[in-house]
Amino acid sequence: MDESAISKEAKDFIELEQSKAQMQSAITAITSECWDKCIFSTNSQKLDSTESKCMQNCMNLFVEAGTYISEHLRKNQK
């Protein structure tokens, strides 16, 4: 392998790792926001049905919003 190929591989690897870190950060932020919105007591080791449904709905809203934004940006780039 020549230097430019190694450099490209390193750049691609760094970009991939940065993308992974950004995704993990987004997941953590969304989880934290939904937790703060939905969970009012940590006395139990399990979520009750209301908390579980709230978390599910909250996470789904973020996923749907992200999908909508991605599609909108993709269409506008064409």
pTM beyond 0.85, yes or no:
no
Interatomic CA distance for residues 53 and 35, integer angstroms: 12
pLDDT bucket at 35, cuts 50 / 70 / 90: very high
CB atoms within 10 A of CB 34: 19
Tokens matching residue 78: 């064409």
DSSP SS3 for 39: coil
Read off the pLDDT band of 41 (50, 70, 90).
confident
2 has pLDDT over 70: no
Unique residue bearing structure tokens 């970009």: 15
Q: What's the CA gap between 23 and 11, in Å, rounded? A: 18
pLDDT of 29 over the 90 cut: yes
Q: What is the pLDDT of residues 42-54, one digit of tens each?
A: 888 999 999 999 9
Domains and CATH numbers, the chain: 3-77 (1.10.287.810)
